[in-house]
Amino acid sequence: MDLMELFTGPRKGAVADPRVARLRMYLNNLAVFFLVCAMWITLSLVTSTFATTGNITNVLRQSSLWSIIAIGQTVVLITAGIDLSIGSVVGLSSCIVALMLNKGYPISVSCVFTCLCGLGVGAVHAFGITKGKLPPFIMTLAGLTTWFGVGLLITGAMPIGNLPADFKNFSRGDVLGIPNLFLCVIGVMIPTYIILNHTRLGNHLYSIGSNRPGAELNAVPVTRTIFFAYMYSSLLASIVGILVAARLSLGIASNGFTWELQAVASSVIGGTSLFGAVGGVFGPVLGATVLSTINNGANLLNVQPYWQRILTGVIIVTVVFFDQLKKRGK
Amino acid sequence: MTEIVNLSNIYKSFGAVQALIDFNLSINEGEIVGLMGDNGAGKSTLLKILAGNFLPTSGNINFNGEDVVFNNPKDARKAGVEVVYQDLALCDHLTAAKNIYLSREAKRFGFLLDHKKMNETSQKLLDELNSSARPGDVVTGMSGGQRQAIAIARTRLSEPKIVLMDEPTAAVSVAQVPVILDYIRSLKKQNHSVLLISHRLPDIMEVCDRIAVMRLGEKVCDKNKSDCNPEEITGLITGAIKSA
């Protein structure tokens, strides 16, 4: 095993050792994991408020929400696409579910209907990308403003409150001490892991990100696979929309504002490549934990919250810069 | 002998460019037909029509006794056409085994990938081709010969009626050329037909039964190998000889 490969990638003309490639991915995740640990230890030492049960649960709740949308974003990024509409879909979904609950529909019906709307939104994006041949960037950027507009329209730009107690309690509840929101993350990670690693669909997602024309020549159902990616991403965004509405007891179109970038950042911190075909489920969850820790730490240290947005931008550029170096080196 | 493919009056244009003009070709069961021609003669266009990537503008394809329309690669594959593309159509980020099985992955329990079976079968197919490529390795960084072997191994997953090969010996090492030519002969022994596109006249002369030459979208020669001589073929390719 050539250990230099760990840092530089396979040498030109040399056969890539799959063990090294796998180890690289583990090491990236491990590095991010240690980064989280280091941040947590530092914050516990410099602030008196970080290492309290209330605060830690808060960090985990925030990271749970971001983890779920980051997993959706990762599935899209694997196909060498991008979903910039996630934040708006979160907001729109929180409006839909709140409006329905307000009208007296049962919680289950409201949630299922909201998820169906999410699937519909994803289908619209995928339709534009496959049939309309629009770049994913443009299609979902249009989605970003469109779905935000729809959310404002159906609520009259007003926050929708007055939600049932059972609904609100879900986001604060736990099962055997494990917060419900974290259970939701597990509930998303397991099927996504199976899809990506152990199904034909997963293989097709990676093949499209790796070489789309080649996948087409090999009779991979490209259109259907891309529909899956965007519908899955929007579905997860809708689920997060529902969870946010429950957590804040509020449906409002600006819920999830700019979260699409949190999702991209979480995903790339977790080792996903913006150029497609590289990514898994553990990375985005770790990435989301990094971001929510930064967010929380900045608050506790009395740093202006605006810095967090600036930092997210810097992180995206830095990580993608190194990703690109890797690609060029090849 | 049964006719596997009969192309009649195939015409294909891309805008103002005429890629194929009234092209006729028939290929029999177990026959190896060599297709030669200069760059831009229309060889790859013809291959892509047979592989279901392009629809002909007009003309008829008869496959195994039936008139067919291949709307996409899947149709062609279902009918029994396997293809080795010039650029190989490999996904660099996937393992050799997943590339070989791409879009017809082995499954267990109806929906889970059968990694073990895919790796084992791939290993067997790669061994048959004398390739050092390992099924579990990702394709990134593999040599030209190893890549070629993976693309060829794909054609062994089914029992094809015909295998189309676009320049299979262009990017491989000298030592590997005879292995690929042997493989083509073994296809013939199993009664599969082969359409071999190549720039390398020695390869064509070695394995083919019949040689067709294209020039500027038209067929200018279609003869049994025994009736051909290399000088004539070269002249036909360059246009020094108009037709034969």
Helix (H, G, I), strand (E, B) or coil at B171: coil
Gap from B241 CA to chain A (nearest CA, Å): 36
Neighbours of A59 (CB within 10 A): 18
A211 and B90: CB-CB below 8 Å? yes
Provide the pLDDT for residue A17.
58
If we measure between CA atoms, which residue out of B244, B186, B177 comes closest to residue B215? B244
Helix (H, G, I), strand (E, B) or coil at B176: helix
- Reading the block at residue A90, the tokens are 């979160």
User: From the CA atom positions of chain A, what is the Rg in Å?
Assistant: 20
Q: Work out whether strand B107-108 and strand B193-197 pair parallel, antiparallel, or are unpaired.
A: unpaired
Q: Which residue of B123, B138, B154 to mutate against A (max A Cβ within 10 Å)?
A: B138
A278 and B53: CB-CB below 8 Å? no
Q: What is the mean pLDDT of chain B?
A: 93
Nearest CA in chain A to B95: A18
Number of CB pairs, chain A paired with chain B, less than 8 A apart: 100
* Residue with the larger pLDDT of the pair A14 and B22: B22
**Interchain contact B51–A (C-beta under 8 A):** yes
Instruction: Judge whether B20 and B35 are in contact, CB under 8 Å.
Output: no
B91 and A207: CB-CB below 8 Å? yes
Nearest CA in chain A to B141: A15
CA dihedral sign of residues A55, A60, A61, A62:
positive
Domain ranges of chain B: 3-89+159-238
- Name the amino acid, one letter, at A264: V
Nearest CA in chain B to A208: B91
A211 and B142: CB-CB below 8 Å? no
A198 and B113: CB-CB below 8 Å? yes
**Interchain contact B105–A (C-beta under 8 A):** yes
How far apart are the C-alpha atoms of A188 and B10, rounded to whole Å?
52
Instruction: Judge whether A268 and A319 are in contact, CB under 8 Å.
Output: yes
Q: Work out whether strand B58-63 and strand B66-68 pair parallel, antiparallel, or are unpaired.
A: antiparallel
Instruction: Judge whether B5 and B27 are in contact, CB under 8 Å.
Output: yes
**Interchain contact B95–A (C-beta under 8 A):** yes
Helix (H, G, I), strand (E, B) or coil at A79: coil
**Interchain contact B159–A (C-beta under 8 A):** no
**Interchain contact B118–A (C-beta under 8 A):** no
B19-41 CB burial, b ≥16 within 10 A, e <16? bbbebebebbbbbbbbbbbeeeb
pLDDT at B140 over 80: yes
Helix (H, G, I), strand (E, B) or coil at B143: coil
B146 and A216: CB-CB below 8 Å? no
- Which residues, including other chains, have CB under 8 Å from residue A279's CB and lie 6 or more apart? A74, A77, A78, A267, A270, A271, A272, A273
A15 and B102: CB-CB below 8 Å? no
Nearest CA in chain A to B142: A15
- Reading the block at residue A173, the tokens are 């509840």
Burial class of residue A308 (count of CB atoms within 10 Å of its CB; 0-12, 13-18, 19+): middle
Nearest CA in chain A to B82: A218
Gap from A2 CA to chain B (nearest CA, Å): 14
B73 and A216: CB-CB below 8 Å? yes
Instruction: Judge whether A187 and A279 are in contact, CB under 8 Å.
Output: no
B146 and A15: CB-CB below 8 Å? yes
What is the number of alpha carbons within 13 Å of residue B176 lying toward its C-beta? 21
Alpha helices in chain B (DSSP H): 43-50, 73-79, 96-100, 115-128, 144-154, 177-189, 201-207, 230-238
Neighbours of A300 (CB within 10 A): 15
B112: which chain A residues are within 8 Å (Cβ-Cβ)?
194, 198-199
Of A16, A209, A218, the CB nearest to B89: A218
Span B170-194, pLDDT tens digits? 888 888 899 999 999 999 999 999 9
Nearest CA in chain B to A19: B137
- Reading the block at residue B239, the tokens are 């246009």
**Length of chain A as a residue count:** 330
Domain ranges of chain A: 65-257
How far apart are the C-alpha atoms of A230 and A120, rounded to whole Å?
10
The tens-digit pLDDT sequence of chain A (330 residues) is 445 555 555 554 455 555 666 677 778 888 889 999 999 999 999 999 999 988 998 899 999 999 999 999 999 999 999 999 999 999 999 999 999 999 999 999 999 999 999 999 999 999 999 999 999 999 999 999 999 999 999 999 999 999 999 999 998 888 887 889 999 999 999 999 999 999 999 999 999 999 999 999 999 999 999 999 999 999 999 999 999 999 999 999 999 999 999 999 999 999 999 999 999 999 999 999 999 999 899 889 998 878 888 888 898 888 888 878 876 654
A206 and B91: CB-CB below 8 Å? yes
SS3 content of chain B, % helix, strand, coil (to 5): 35, 30, 40
How far apart are the C-alpha atoms of A265 and A248, rounded to whole Å?
24
Instruction: Judge whether B138 and B169 are in contact, CB under 8 Å.
Output: no
Of B88, B95, B141, the CB nearest to A14: B141
Chain A residues within 8 Å of chain B (Cβ atoms): 10-18, 21, 194, 197-200, 202-204, 206-207, 209-211, 213-221, 276-278, 330
Of B85, B111, B137, the CB nearest to A15: B137
**Length of chain B as a residue count:** 244
- The ipTM estimated for the assembled molecules is 0.91
In the CATH scheme, what is the code of domain B3-89+159-238? 3.40.50.300
A11 and B111: CB-CB below 8 Å? no
Gap from B243 CA to chain A (nearest CA, Å): 34
Q: What is the DSSP string of A160-202?
A: B----HHHHHHHH-EETTEEHHHHHHHHHHHHHHHHHHHSHHH
Nearest CA in chain B to A193: B112
Burial class of residue A243 (count of CB atoms within 10 Å of its CB; 0-12, 13-18, 19+): buried
SS3 content of chain A, % helix, strand, coil (to 5): 75, 0, 25
- Which residues, including other chains, have CB under 8 Å from residue B71's CB and lie 6 or more apart? B52, B55
Q: Work out whether strand B193-197 and strand B32-37 pair parallel, antiparallel, or are unpaired.
A: parallel
B104: which chain A residues are within 8 Å (Cβ-Cβ)?
219
Mean per-residue pLDDT, B129-153: 91
Gap from A284 CA to chain B (nearest CA, Å): 19
Instruction: Judge whether A91 and A206 are in contact, CB under 8 Å.
Output: no
Span B54-104, pLDDT tens digits? 999 999 999 999 999 999 999 999 999 999 999 999 999 999 999 999 999
How far apart are the C-alpha atoms of B60 and B5, rounded to whole Å?
11
